[in-house]
């Protein structure tokens, strides 16, 4: 998956009408927004239907029947204001979409209005001030192009690894990138943000605001917990960072290690040594344990490298820290030194081509995720984690032989500069993290959902106790199945109570609410309808079944022909 792959915020107002009863209300909202110049796409309008279908398309078939009444695509903050005011005034559910990569589907609208920010993609680079300003609907590819086209070698914008990921969810959820270890979390480099509030007003908050002022507290909250809980962020300013090496090069590469005898004790020992190494801050190496039954190569580990320095310096680091002969040799062979601009343009695109392709609707699978936070000081705990993963991979392969299924455990390299901040300096709490790990289970046949859910539940029971505090998770890698009483502690740790106070200050009526939004102080830890513990059987096919209840196709033959013409 795209590791930067970061959640794209979703917000909601409570619906006060049934689906049929709200149609006149929705039509009135559509008419009003169109008079204000807002582009509105609807499924029953032949002039916009094709664009509507593309706008709601999702690569995760868990959300295949999502079909909101309309999609709105604003081009500026004023139009976002109009949309928020209209939705709140009429009690219509509003779901915000930056680029739709939310692992948990929080950017996917099942009803109401899908607020699609992707037409808001302006970017401005000021190299005199070393500041980049961009709309919240941009993808990282838009932002990186300013450095590439300007030939600004040696300069980096602290964004995501995957160019198709939207900037909004990435930054507001914390943001892990290739240079987190050098410059901190993506949200640590945020200088200013413009937001539309629940009242439809525009507020700009920045690092210059007094930390105890309402604006200062909102800025604090947006840096790690800002995905749709407080308002609609429409514009951000980030610091442009300079690489430490004088030539402005990045040593980057990728190696997929499929040991001929599988994940042996020797391989496990090499990985334990790898994870417990105190790597220098200018070195980032992500790794993914792969158990893909659709492939014939067996189990393996993929490494993704980004090093701020020269190739000889990189080689010396690998020689020093990697004892396993074959792994050491390949990690040195499978990299190239390149100017930072080429790295942003070519490596981040091509290196992740198979992952970025999977972000588009033509490459569809069913997917479930969960995330964990690990340190590396306790060697015995690391050994337990890797041994557990190996056993789970073995069980997965034995249990589902012949099926089109896959199980991945991805370790995103964090730590470094990100640990220099105190947990309460920003809303991103888990500062001691050296690795943010996320688990993916993926399948092609819809009948496999219960088996995949049961397996993922087993993974979570095995790995969650080994996460920091036995609970830590990362907001950019959300788990839709976290209980209501658990997710705030998992994502925000000791910052959860303060975030509730900021929520009350900026959204006292809880207009911006979704399944895992920040709550207000008076809100119950557990929703009334969640008092009974859900089983995996309860969750299986529930999203699709609920969405299907209101899914309508007027002409199936015509729809199939049109979808084929459009490339679906």
User: 265-273 — which CB contacts under 8 Å span 24+ positions?
Assistant: 266/324, 267/301, 267/324, 268/383, 268/386, 268/387, 268/390, 269/324, 270/322, 270/323, 270/324, 270/327, 271/301, 271/386, 272/379, 272/382, 272/383, 272/386, 273/322, 273/323, 273/324
Asked whether the predicted pLDDT for residue 82 surpasses 90, the reply is yes
pLDDT tens readout for residues 90-116: 999 999 888 766 777 787 878 899 999
The arithmetic mean of pLDDT across residues 424-450, rounded, is 97
pLDDT (0 to 100) of residue 357: 47
pLDDT tens readout for residues 395-420: 999 999 999 999 999 999 999 999 99
Report whether 86 contacts 69 (CB < 8 A). no
The arithmetic mean of pLDDT across residues 541-549, rounded, is 82
Angle between helix 214-225 and helix 496-506 axes, rounded to 10 deg: 120
Asked whether the predicted pLDDT for residue 557 surpasses 60, the reply is yes
Asked whether the predicted pLDDT for residue 358 surpasses 80, the reply is no
Looking at the chain, the whole-number percentage of residues with pLDDT higher than 90 is 75
The arithmetic mean of pLDDT across residues 317-325, rounded, is 98
Q: Which residue has the higher pLDDT, 549 or 217?
A: 217
pLDDT (0 to 100) of residue 107: 76
Structure-token match 């993929």, residue found:
302
Asked whether the predicted pLDDT for residue 355 surpasses 50, the reply is no
pLDDT (0 to 100) of residue 313: 98
Asked whether the predicted pLDDT for residue 347 surpasses 70, the reply is no
pLDDT tens readout for residues 365-394: 899 999 999 999 999 999 999 999 999 999
Asked whether the predicted pLDDT for residue 479 surpasses 70, the reply is yes
Q: Which residue has the higher pLDDT, 521 or 558?
A: 521
Asked whether the predicted pLDDT for residue 314 surpasses 90, the reply is yes
Q: Which residue has the higher pLDDT, 556 or 264?
A: 264
pLDDT tens readout for residues 223-280: 999 999 999 999 999 999 999 999 999 999 999 999 999 999 999 999 999 999 999 9
Give the predicted TM-score (pTM) of the model: 0.91
3-state secondary structure of 241: strand
pLDDT (0 to 100) of residue 161: 86
The arithmetic mean of pLDDT across residues 462-482, rounded, is 96
- Give the lowest-confidence range in 265-274, 499-508, 529-538, 556-565: 556-565
Residue 145 pLDDT level (bands cut at 50, 70, 90): very high
Asked whether the predicted pLDDT for residue 551 surpasses 80, the reply is no
Buried residues in 51-73 as b, exposed as e (16+ CB within 10 A): ebbebbbbbbbbbbbbbbbbbbb
The arithmetic mean of pLDDT across residues 72-87, rounded, is 97
Which ranges in 165-310 belong to alpha helices (H)? 167-172, 180-183, 214-225, 265-276
Count the neighbouring beta carbons within 10 Å of the beta carbon of residue 394: 14
Q: Which residue has the higher pLDDT, 552 or 58?
A: 58
Residues 6+ apart with CB under 8 A from 3: 160, 161, 162, 176, 286, 304, 355, 410, 412
Structure-token match 């981040």, residue found:
348
pLDDT tens readout for residues 323-339: 999 999 999 999 999 99
Task: Determine the Cα–Cα distance for residues 107 and 116; give it in Å rounded to an integer.
Answer: 9
Task: Determine the Cα–Cα distance for residues 434 and 373; give it in Å rounded to an integer.
Answer: 8
Radius of gyration for the alpha carbons in the chain, expressed in angstroms and rounded: 23
Residues 6+ apart with CB under 8 A from 449: 366, 443, 540, 541
Asked whether the predicted pLDDT for residue 550 surpasses 80, the reply is no
Report whether 106 contacts 9 (CB < 8 A). yes
Asked whether the predicted pLDDT for residue 356 surpasses 80, the reply is no
Asked whether the predicted pLDDT for residue 363 surpasses 70, the reply is no
DSSP code for 153: T
Which ranges in 114-156 belong to alpha helices (H)? 140-149
* CA neighbor of 381 nearest in space, from 275, 265, 270, 263: 275
Residues 6+ apart with CB under 8 A from 496: 488, 489
- Give the lowest-confidence range in 8-17, 152-161, 262-271, 455-464: 8-17
**Mean per-residue pLDDT over the chain, rounded:** 90
Residue 3 pLDDT level (bands cut at 50, 70, 90): very low
Phi (first) and psi of residue 382, to 5 degrees: -60, -45
Asked whether the predicted pLDDT for residue 360 surpasses 70, the reply is no
């Amino acid at each position: 998956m795209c590791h930067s792959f970061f959640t794209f915020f979703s917000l909601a107002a409570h619906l006060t009408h049934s689906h049929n009863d709200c149609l006149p209300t929705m039509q009135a909202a559509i008419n009003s927004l169109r008079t204000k110049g807002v582009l509105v796409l609807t499924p029953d309008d032949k002039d916009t239907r094709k664009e509507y279908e593309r706008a709601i398309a999702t690569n995760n078939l868990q959300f295949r029947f999502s079909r909101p009444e309309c999609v709105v695509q604003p081009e500026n903050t004023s139009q976002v204001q109009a949309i928020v005011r209209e939705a709140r005034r009429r009690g219509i559910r509003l779901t915000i979409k930056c680029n739709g990569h939310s692992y948990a589907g929080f950017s996917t609208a099942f009803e109401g209005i899908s607020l699609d920010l992707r037409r808001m993609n302006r970017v401005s680079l000021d190299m005199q001030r070393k500041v980049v300003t961009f709309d919240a609907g941009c993808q990282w590819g838009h932002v990186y192009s300013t450095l590439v086209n300007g030939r600004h070698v040696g300069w980096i914008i602290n964004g995501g690894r995957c160019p198709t990921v939207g900037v909004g969810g990435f930054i507001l959820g914390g943001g892990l990138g290739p240079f987190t270890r050098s410059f901190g979390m993506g949200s640590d480099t945020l200088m200013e943000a413009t937001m539309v509030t629940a009242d439809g007003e525009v507020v700009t908050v920045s690092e210059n605001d007094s930390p105890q002022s309402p604006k200062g507290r909102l800025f604090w909250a947006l840096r790690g917990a800002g995905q749709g809980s407080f308002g609609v962020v429409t514009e951000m300013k980030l610091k442009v960072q300079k690489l430490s090496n004088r030539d402005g090069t990045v040593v980057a590469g990728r190696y997929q290690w499929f040991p001929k005898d599988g994940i042996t004790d020797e391989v496990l020992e090499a990985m334990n040594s790898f994870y417990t190494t105190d790597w220098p801050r200018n070195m980032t190496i992500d790794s993914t344990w792969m158990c893909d039954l659709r492939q014939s190569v067996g189990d393996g580990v993929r490494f993704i490298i980004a090093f701020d320095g020269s190739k000889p310096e990189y080689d010396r680091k690998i020689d020093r820290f990697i004892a396993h002969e074959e792994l050491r040799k390949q990690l040195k062979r499978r990299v190239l030194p390149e100017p930072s601009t080429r790295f942003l343009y070519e490596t981040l695109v091509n290196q992740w081509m198979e992952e970025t392709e999977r972000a588009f609707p033509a490459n569809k699978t069913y997917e479930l995720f969960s995330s964990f936070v690990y340190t590396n000081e306790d060697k015995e705990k690391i050994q337990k984690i890797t041994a557990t993963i190996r056993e789970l991979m073995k069980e997965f392969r034995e249990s589902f032989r012949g099926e089109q299924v896959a199980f991945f455990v991805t370790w995103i390299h964090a730590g470094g500069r990100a640990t220099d901040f105190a947990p309460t300096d920003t809303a991103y709490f888990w500062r001691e993290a050296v690795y943010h790990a996320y688990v993916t289970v993926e399948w092609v046949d819809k009948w496999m959902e219960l088996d995949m859910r049961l397996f993922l539940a087993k993974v979570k029971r095995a790995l969650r106790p080994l996460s920091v505090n036995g609970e830590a998770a990362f907001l950019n890698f959300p788990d839709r199945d976290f209980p209501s009483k658990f997710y705030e502690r998992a994502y925000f740790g000791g910052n959860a109570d303060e975030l509730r106070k900021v929520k009350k200050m900026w959204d006292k009526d809880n207009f911006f609410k979704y399944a895992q939004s920040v709550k207000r102080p008076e809100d119950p830890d557990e929703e009334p309808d969640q008092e009974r513990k859900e089983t995996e059987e309860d969750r299986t096919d529930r999203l699709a079944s609920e969405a299907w209840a209101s899914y309508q196709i007027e002409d199936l033959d015509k729809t199939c022909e049109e979808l084929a013409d459009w490339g679906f």
